[in-house]
Structure 1
Amino acid sequence: MIAVATMSDIGSWTRNGVGPRDRGPSGSLSKLWAKTSRGLGDVSDIVTGGQPWLSLSQHSRDAADVGTALARQWLAPSVRSRLVLSLGCQGDPGAVDRLLGWLAGVHDVGKAEVGFQHQAARSKVSRFLWDQVAPLLEDARMEDDRYRKVPHSLYSELIIRRWLRRCFPDADILAIASVAVIAGCHHGVPSGLPWQLSTRFNFVVAEAESWLDRHGEQWSGMWWELLDDLTSRTGVQQDLERLLQAGGIAVADQIFLSGFVSMADWVASNQELFPLSQSGSDSRRSFRADEALERLNLTRPWEPASPKDIVDVRQRFDWGPDRELRPVQRKAMDIAATATGPTLLIIEDETGSGKTEAAQLAGEVLAARTGAGGMAFALPTMTTTDALLPRMVGWVQRLSDSRGQHSIRLMHSKANLNPAFEELLRATKSVNDDEAQENSQAAEYLDHVVAHAWFSGRKGVLSEFLVCTVDQILMAALATRYVTLRHLGLAGKVVVVDEVHSYDVYSSNYLARALTWLAAQGASVILLSATLASGPRNLLSAAYREGLRQTERPAEMSAEKLRTRTSLRAKMVAPGPVHDGTHSPCVDVAYPRITTVSCEGVTAEHVPVQKACRQVFFSLIGDSDDELIAEVERLSQSGGVIGIVCNTVARAQQAAAALAGRYPGSVELFHSQFIAADRARKEQELTTRLGTERPGAASSRPRFHIVVGTQVLEQSLDVDFDALISDMAPTDSLAQRAGRLHRHSRLRPPGLEHAQLVLRGMDLDKTTPTFDRGSEFIYGKRVLMATAAILFRYISGEPWCAGHDLPSDVEATYSDSTEIPSDWQEEYNAASNKEAEEDRAAKKRAQAFQLKTPVESRGKLTQALSALSAVDADRQEDLALATVRDIDPSLEVALIRRVRGRLLPLPWLTSQDWDEELSPVSVPSERIIHVIADSVVRLPRALIRPDQIMDAMVELDDAGFGAWQRDFRLRGTSIIVLDEQLCGSILGKSFRYDKDLGVVPTRNHTAPTPNEGGQDAHYRNDI
């Protein structure tokens, strides 16, 4: 058995509170129900004497005990410390446990209401529950046929407000509302009650208040009894008084405390852990959360020991004895070691400089300094996220702390189909696993790393360590259901976001808003980039700095203070001193550099490097296939590995086809429109043959090879080219691509000793430059014109230095100070105006469904979530992704084939002895599910335009594979059946699939415009 840190000591401290904790509820209160074993309409499990059920009082006590336990044992130390300060209970940290236990316990008091209780009357099985409640209506003024259909969470909030006013008559109404609102939001959506409960102008409030009044004294007596019992059980009376006197709960705490109550409720509602009974209560004893949580086995927060010497660091990454820390890694650790509170680090260095390890090391130091209980690592795409998972698992496994076992989660829309993560899931013991012992033994090789079954779905963000696509972080700024849970999961972590330079205006706006909330909740953040222009750097720095300043309680948000805060925010975006969070302190700081944002201000430090900077020689060729072939011939006279990066899949396929005719067997194509298995295989082969070579291992690098790809080649992929040909792209994107040139130290073929980057897709012979239309659609004409003007002096001239020229050139690309040739100026101005208009529109679209900032929320959770979207980020992930990224939706399908009437997988995905036929009318077997997962591919825009996706889904839903949707791993997966030649169609457009070319539209469909050529920019469609 693996030793797991548990919360088995709950009993020793849950029973050491104040007041008569074990006093049972009165006869009337004990008759109110909260849970039944099955749906109220189910008549299949009639139990003699009544269906098993759970009383409201028992469930409330269970939730209170769970909340107290989780607060004590599961919350990260940084969150506990923040709450100690925020709640004004310095010197008494136990107040956090008591208050959170009470908040969890009272969340369902609104179920003590006739409308909720009357649901049992509609069930033949549970009618007895209504029969025992009905006599309590004798004194109530109710209409028999009229029960309000209002969520019980709203009544919970209203009853708690009444009780708090009754107990603390002098308390500020806003302070009271800040406490009660948490119960109103325990289903992930605020109740919507106004904070100033004026019934004069609010019909909903008037109706709700009137309905509660009509319940009469007996019902209100049960409300007070239940709340008094929970107050006595948790011993929170004085803590509530102190909290209300201090002005209530700040909105940054309201949001993640709402998520905490949801978590406690889910645990306490688990009928495996808290079984029902025919009496509605636990007849053995009053306390049962200790046993339940011991069975649940939630891992405790990470308690890192800060790395003290090089030996520890080598052990973290399984480095050899000769491996030394790189400059950026040592500098990041040194800066993190000075942190005294929440901190933002922006690390800028060349690709291949070890920024990922720098973030892990700095994150470990920050966690040790601030008490963070985990880390979230976010990357741009599923491919890069999947690639990082094994590295993170190895790193977590080698962590040394006293906790023994850690939980890790992979989070993106296809996480359940990732083989490495699925293996981790299988090897992990879960609470309801009948083969727990067997699974536990299977997990022994993992030592300290598990994928706890409870952290599934939307709860994955609560795991200690999170490897995810950046969308999971961006959605912390999206006002959607259960965003509160996302804040709970991120507030206690160090959050790392990679490749920040790649996010457009729209997504950067979401990232900035997420940073504001993370700072307000005390979370440290690390941003990684090859280089970042001052505009986005200032935006992100100012957003984080703004969050550090926003800690006011609701009762403190007076009109005068709001005016002061508004003035401060205005100063943050106006010209001012270097350290005011507006002007970047990096202007005079050499690259590479690390920017630090904390309560002390904004600073930047240069990272001294010992090696010579990489120099790249630029040249320009025409855009025809003949010119491309001629350039490859020139570069490869003595062999070499040549990389060719195109901006669209269509251009990549065309270039590969032209080169394959000249160099058969030596051309490889790589883009995002391969099925999952082929893409993973190609990526593995590329990194094995063209990446880092292990000391002493035989080299598999070919003497001559051509790799044609799209932007996927520039995304955290360890490949090393001897020369590179690239479509025209913005300066920072070209820098990313150049990072794959001469990436490692090795002997180069004659003529390729110096890094050469050849540009195509741009014509400078005309009065103004012209670009490939697909490139212009993806990146924008102004940016390409600015890049062309900047690179003009390097083309067939002086070398471009990644260390010295890159920062200033990137800055010039995105600033108003770009020097443009006079002949270009008119067209450049027009493109600039168009870009500005598009940016304004993007910002406006981004703000439509965002959380308000804490100061804009005026201390109110309902105001923060006022833009609440109907999208559930966990159940409608595609819609949520489209909300936080400015992308056109696309369609993913799984490809299978029909051979002589039999449905089979694609031939190369199975062994020759495969004999299992696929049936559309039954749930596939385990091995078929894996094959189908390997067959998923995204269809190009040339086949399916965004406005056609719904029509395509209807067509595919009619194909007869509905039974496959019953497996959670295939839910939402559409199927296209290909013929024996691997040809298929969708909406009348034909295509074929080729394992070497990917999805290839065939001639009988309308040719795409250049804008529809299958762009592969990762920030647009490679999520």
Structure 2
Amino acid sequence: MPSYHAYWGKARPTADMAELHLLVHHSLDVAAVGHAYLRRHPALLDWLAARFVAPRDVLLDWFVFWLALHDLGKFSITFQRQRSDLVEQLQGQPAPEAQAEPVRHDSLGFGFWREYMCDCALDEDWFGEFDSRSDLTDAVEPWVRVATGHHGMPPRTDAGVQATRHFTPRGAARDAPSRNAADALDFVAAMRAMFLSPATAALVTRPDFADRSRELSWWLAGVVVLADWIGSDTDHFPYRATALQSLAGYWADALAHADAALDATGILVAPLRAPLGFAQLFPRIPAPSPLQAWAAELPVAPRPQLHLLEDVTGAGKTEAAVMLTQRLIAAGVADGFFIGLPTMATANAMHERISQVYRPLFGEAASLALAHGRRNLVEAFAASVLRPGRADADPDAPDGDDTATARCTAWLADHNKRALLAPAGVGTIDQALLATLRSKHQSLRLLGLFRKVLVVDEVHACDAYMLRTLELLLEFHARAGGSAVLLSATLPMRMKRKLLAAFAQGAGQSAAPAHRRDYPLVTSWVAGNAADEPAPAVPPVATAVAAATLTEQPIATRAAVRRRVGVRHESDRAALHRLILDTLAAGRCVAWIRNTVADVLDAHAELAPALPAGSVTVFHARFALADRLVIEQRVLATFGRDSGPAERRGQLLLASQVAEQSLDIDADLLVTDLAPIDRLVQRAGRLMRHVRDAEGRASTDPQAGDARGEPLMVVFGPAFTEAPRSDWFKDFFPKASGVYPDHGQLWLTARALQAGGFTMPDDARALVEAVYDGEAELPAGLQASSNRAEGKAYGDRSLADANVVDPERGYVRGGSEWDTDESAPSRLGEDTHDVLLCRWDGGVLRPLHAHADPRAAWAYSGVRIARRLLCGVPQPADAARATALAECAQRLPGQGRWSVLLPLESDGKDGFAARALRLSRDEKAELPARCRYSSLTGLVLEDEAAPDPEGAGAGASRQ
């Protein structure tokens, strides 16, 4: 056998299978997965072939050739020395020492190309004749980066990665031949013989090949990461420690294994289904709203398109988006969908709604990620989307590299990330935004969105940084022929124009500026095509296209959501408390939406003692997932569409912004802290949302009016004045002053509400534009606040431009490092992380919420919190407990590097207490802190000195 068989690629310490897997076999495993994935994803392969103007089989062989070389860096001495015993077993002698300290093998693979392969390729005309080395590298290096960057980020290319020092033994002369390099080159030659026919090798001579390679490398890199994960699953690719057949024979076996592995993942495109009528998709809705009827009747053009749906809360925007999405899928314009929500709470609620229509959309053929109720959310994803295989090599190996299995397990531990890979997904918008930011596994997210309908709900809830990132995401999505549906009740005109322009730019076209101020309104932009006739589902290569179409269509309003909302401004806390208590005593239900978690807890401490047990529900982002799911269900049962007098009577909901969007709740009286006008309009949508009788029973008569009287929204905030001081808002809301930093906008909002109410939908556009059009004159006292906020917004947009990947440069590093899972943040604000709540059971630490699947148990026990509030835990004084804590961390994905374990002790009452560490104000020191956890109030930290915001732009709002 050729000597390139004498290298290990995977190793495991257990004895239930071979101890090692040969490197050449693993290389072909991964290549086979990539081959099978593209072959069974014809839309992706057709799109790539069209962009390269190349036959599908030629492009497929070209890609597989490079994918087979993804682990060339593992031929290095530094990698092989990690298991010197295996080297001696395979080569008959111990591994020599290298000339340098270990470097990750992905970067070594790229270095091997530059220092060994490139000159050979040029001298031997592997890819035809090139005039210079620079011409060859310009055409080929994008593919080398894609293949070797299989760990979710581009390989390093700095001077510190010198391949010769890692392939040549210590003490050898500089020009001494290297056995490791020679064997690696022999393996490259074998792969050339298997995959590079003359026609395939000549692919690089096609026009614009280098430019298209760079542009498309972002999606190709995602296929490589996915193939490496699946190809590392030992359940489908069992280890083989010896070469019992030729590489060609092994390749045939690997292809069969790859098909079986893909079948088990649940990520393949589902077959097209016939279009469904509205009644078939939503049998519980007796008649569609005007917006829903528009979605059901719109002629579907077979080209990329963007639809912005603006309508009042309760008009059925979600159902309209789903209706339109299934029609795009049935027409072959898309293969699936991803719905991005502003918070995890809204994502959970959306999951419940989508699960009811999932099967009619996809049947049994697609992943069942969304075919289960909320209680099964975590385990449903874990069981159906990319099961992580058994562990292979030590993830703490000297080259600092995690194994593919460890990376896969860590990524899949976040169910919001898993949602991107399934044909249908619901999650936070952050996971989609990270597809265009310099973050680990960015390319995998981008691949997950390919030919999906991207639905973004509450799109107005984006600050300047998120808006710019969303623009870039829409540009990327349109480049790949994707379509998008954006939903909002309150979308400022300036924001709308930016989103339309970004999507059109991605499609290589332009969009006329939207101008109509009707409301409700649907704005649709559909890409043109080269011959003014229907284009194929896969975008053509030609860039000269006919003019695109922009349509702005006013939509009628359903009578049930046309209403007058009274507004009462209240600045007296005691008077507000009396109003709430009197309303509850009268048998009605009240919801108070606050701007920070700390304010929610303050309201609970002030009001709960005066109310019966079980009549107050606290809802915010600092609950463990299991408790949050229970609370969400309780909130919907108490305040939702199907609640009745028995459930609603005397109930108080104290919530942060997690309750302001996408939750179908209905309060008799709504109290809200002062917030920007678009947020208040959203919050007003939780007020008397469904028609009920005077006792609170939901009406079944579509013509009936609400018998509870005129809806009243009480806005709690500083007294309105025409000449406010600079501390007008901050003095009243010290904890929330940083959540909405433009206090001029808050003053404009308060002024707009002085009329005592508004009518929906008639006043919606005027209200929003009065605050956001930038034309209003502000009081002198608040001008500085607005100037700072405007300057920050410009800076945040610039930061987004600096953090986003560049499609023209291709899959390369640049700017900030990629080494952490979210190097470039999806939204600005506080740095947050996951805290895993656990409890002592004797001397053993167990997740707070038990589950048969340990991964699900930890997911259910997790809460996300600002790092400054809880950055770690002190070392237990008891040595046995310290050991138990360390051992527990080792069993977590990534050995606990991506989260903090918080051991809890019963407080003897209704909750738990814990010792923790928090950051000092200058974030340079860790200080002792105390915290409590209760399923009634969540995680409470003592002496919180600053706000923990959950609004747009705040890191905590992902939850």
What is the TM-score normalised by the length of structure 2? 0.79
Given the alignment of the two structures, is residue 742 of structure 1 paired with residue 688 of structure 2, yes or no? yes
Following the alignment from structure 1 to structure 2, what is the Cα–Cα distance between the partners of residues 892 and 273? 32
Deviation at 1:962, TM superposition (A): 3.1
Given the alignment of the two structures, is residue 180 of structure 1 paired with residue 144 of structure 2, yes or no? yes
Kept in 1: contact 2:167–2:178 (CA 8 A)? no
Relative to structure 1, is the Cα distance of residues 681 and 179 closer, same or farther in structure 2, using a 3 angstrom cutoff? closer
Relative to structure 1, is the Cα distance of residues 117 and 656 closer, same or farther in structure 2, using a 3 angstrom cutoff? closer
1:1022 corresponds in structure 2 to 957
1:719 corresponds in structure 2 to 665
Deviation at 1:786, TM superposition (A): 1.8
1:256-335 alignment runs, 5 A limit:
256-282=219-245, 287-296=252-261, 297-298=263-264, 299=266, 301-303=268-270, 305=272, 308-310=275-277, 313-317=278-282, 319-320=283-284, 323-335=286-298
Two-structure CA RMSD over aligned residues (Å): 4.3
SS at match of 2:664: coil
1:349 corresponds in structure 2 to 311
Relative to structure 1, is the Cα distance of residues 355 and 221 closer, same or farther in structure 2, using a 3 angstrom cutoff? same
SS at match of 1:763: coil
2:907 corresponds in structure 1 to 979
Q: Which runs of 5+ in 1 are unaligned?
A: 1-26, 135-142, 195-201, 434-451, 551-571, 573-578, 874-878, 898-902, 905-916
Kept in 1: contact 2:474–2:499 (CA 8 A)? yes
Relative to structure 1, is the Cα distance of residues 239 and 618 closer, same or farther in structure 2, using a 3 angstrom cutoff? same
2:619 corresponds in structure 1 to 670
SS at match of 1:467: strand
SS at match of 2:361: coil
1:830 corresponds in structure 2 to 784
Following the alignment from structure 2 to structure 1, what is the Cα–Cα distance between the partners of residues 15 and 578? 77
Deviation at 1:169, TM superposition (A): 1.0
Runs of 4+ residues deviating >6 angstroms:
44-47, 202-213, 217-224, 415-418, 427-433, 452-455, 921-925, 927-933, 953-957
Deviation at 1:288, TM superposition (A): 0.3
Following the alignment from structure 2 to structure 1, what is the Cα–Cα distance between the partners of residues 409 and 354? 19
Relative to structure 1, is the Cα distance of residues 236 and 378 closer, same or farther in structure 2, using a 3 angstrom cutoff? farther
1:738-887 alignment runs, 5 A limit:
738-748=684-694, 752-765=708-721, 767-768=723-724, 770-771=728-729, 772-773=732-733, 774-780=735-741, 781-792=743-754, 794-795=755-756, 799-818=757-776, 820=777, 825-852=779-806, 854-855=807-808, 857=809, 860-862=810-812, 865-873=813-821, 883-887=825-829
- Deviation readout 1:203-254 (Å, 9 max, x if unpaired): 9789799989947699888666544543443465314424432222343311
Task: Report the AA paired with residue 254 of structure 2.
Answer: A
Given the alignment of the two structures, is residue 230 of structure 1 paired with residue 159 of structure 2, yes or no? no
Relative to structure 1, is the Cα distance of residues 54 and 896 closer, same or farther in structure 2, using a 3 angstrom cutoff? closer
Given the alignment of the two structures, is residue 476 of structure 1 paired with residue 435 of structure 2, yes or no? yes
Which range moved further: 600-609 or 982-991? Answer: 982-991
Relative to structure 1, is the Cα distance of residues 64 and 596 closer, same or farther in structure 2, using a 3 angstrom cutoff? same
Kept in 2: contact 1:104–1:265 (CA 8 A)? no
Of the candidates 459, 475, 479, which is equivalent to residue 500 of structure 1?
459
Relative to structure 1, is the Cα distance of residues 94 and 761 closer, same or farther in structure 2, using a 3 angstrom cutoff? same
1:244 corresponds in structure 2 to 205
Kept in 1: contact 2:873–2:902 (CA 8 A)? no
Task: Report the AA paired with residue 951 of structure 2.
Answer: A
Kept in 2: contact 1:157–1:184 (CA 8 A)? no
SS at match of 2:357: helix
Relative to structure 1, is the Cα distance of residues 924 and 184 closer, same or farther in structure 2, using a 3 angstrom cutoff? same
2:537 corresponds in structure 1 to none
Of the candidates 377, 389, 396, which is equivalent to residue 420 of structure 1?
377
Deviation at 1:268, TM superposition (A): 3.4
Given the alignment of the two structures, is residue 169 of structure 1 paired with residue 118 of structure 2, yes or no? no
Following the alignment from structure 2 to structure 1, what is the Cα–Cα distance between the partners of residues 604 and 181? 76
Relative to structure 1, is the Cα distance of residues 955 and 629 closer, same or farther in structure 2, using a 3 angstrom cutoff? same
Of the candidates 505, 508, 519, which is equivalent to residue 546 of structure 1?
505
Following the alignment from structure 1 to structure 2, what is the Cα–Cα distance between the partners of residues 922 and 755? 44
Kept in 2: contact 1:64–1:234 (CA 8 A)? no
Deviation at 1:473, TM superposition (A): 0.9
- Deviation readout 1:653-693 (Å, 9 max, x if unpaired): 44445445655455444333445454433322221132112
Relative to structure 1, is the Cα distance of residues 361 and 680 closer, same or farther in structure 2, using a 3 angstrom cutoff? same
Relative to structure 1, is the Cα distance of residues 959 and 498 closer, same or farther in structure 2, using a 3 angstrom cutoff? farther
Kept in 2: contact 1:118–1:130 (CA 8 A)? no
Following the alignment from structure 1 to structure 2, what is the Cα–Cα distance between the partners of residues 175 and 931? 48
1:869-1018 alignment runs, 5 A limit:
869-873=817-821, 883-890=825-832, 893=835, 903=840, 919-920=844-845, 926=851, 946-947=867-868, 949-950=870-871, 952=873, 961-968=885-892, 971=896, 972=899, 973-981=901-909, 982=911, 986=916, 989-990=929-930, 992=932, 996-998=936-938, 1006=943, 1008=944, 1012=946, 1014-1017=948-951
- Deviation readout 1:621-648 (Å, 9 max, x if unpaired): 4333331144347767964323222223
Relative to structure 1, is the Cα distance of residues 659 and 871 closer, same or farther in structure 2, using a 3 angstrom cutoff? same
Of the candidates 382, 387, 395, which is equivalent to residue 349 of structure 2?
387
SS at match of 2:682: helix
Kept in 1: contact 2:837–2:848 (CA 8 A)? no
Kept in 1: contact 2:339–2:455 (CA 8 A)? yes
Following the alignment from structure 2 to structure 1, what is the Cα–Cα distance between the partners of residues 928 and 387? 47
Which range moved further: 783-792 or 839-848? Answer: 839-848
Which range moved further: 384-393 or 489-498? Answer: 384-393
Following the alignment from structure 1 to structure 2, what is the Cα–Cα distance between the partners of residues 332 and 430? 36
Following the alignment from structure 1 to structure 2, what is the Cα–Cα distance between the partners of residues 607 and 205? 63
1:107 corresponds in structure 2 to 70
SS at match of 1:398: helix
Given the alignment of the two structures, is residue 591 of structure 1 paired with residue 520 of structure 2, yes or no? yes
Given the alignment of the two structures, is residue 707 of structure 1 paired with residue 628 of structure 2, yes or no? no
Q: Which runs of 5+ in 2 are unaligned?
A: 391-407, 529-547, 696-705, 917-926
Following the alignment from structure 2 to structure 1, what is the Cα–Cα distance between the partners of residues 846 and 487? 48
SS at match of 1:126: helix
Kept in 2: contact 1:33–1:54 (CA 8 A)? yes
Kept in 2: contact 1:378–1:497 (CA 8 A)? yes
Of the candidates 364, 367, 385, which is equivalent to residue 407 of structure 1?
367
1:146 corresponds in structure 2 to 99
Relative to structure 1, is the Cα distance of residues 674 and 549 closer, same or farther in structure 2, using a 3 angstrom cutoff? same
Following the alignment from structure 1 to structure 2, what is the Cα–Cα distance between the partners of residues 101 and 51? 27
Deviation at 1:472, TM superposition (A): 0.9
- Deviation readout 1:730-766 (Å, 9 max, x if unpaired): 1110111110122112224698421111222121257
Task: Report the AA paired with residue 487 of structure 2.
Answer: L
1:581-660 alignment runs, 5 A limit:
583=513, 585-596=514-525, 598-599=527-528, 600=548, 602-611=550-559, 613-632=561-580, 639-660=587-608
Relative to structure 1, is the Cα distance of residues 230 and 979 closer, same or farther in structure 2, using a 3 angstrom cutoff? same
Relative to structure 1, is the Cα distance of residues 221 and 938 closer, same or farther in structure 2, using a 3 angstrom cutoff? closer
Aligned residues: 860
Task: Report the AA paired with residue 590 of structure 2.
Answer: I
Which range moved further: 471-480 or 95-104? Answer: 95-104
Which range moved further: 294-303 or 244-253? Answer: 294-303
Deviation at 1:604, TM superposition (A): 2.8
What is the TM-score normalised by the length of structure 1? 0.74
Kept in 2: contact 1:498–1:529 (CA 8 A)? yes
Following the alignment from structure 2 to structure 1, what is the Cα–Cα distance between the partners of residues 36 and 186? 23
Relative to structure 1, is the Cα distance of residues 677 and 302 closer, same or farther in structure 2, using a 3 angstrom cutoff? closer
Identity level (%)? 23
Kept in 2: contact 1:46–1:125 (CA 8 A)? no
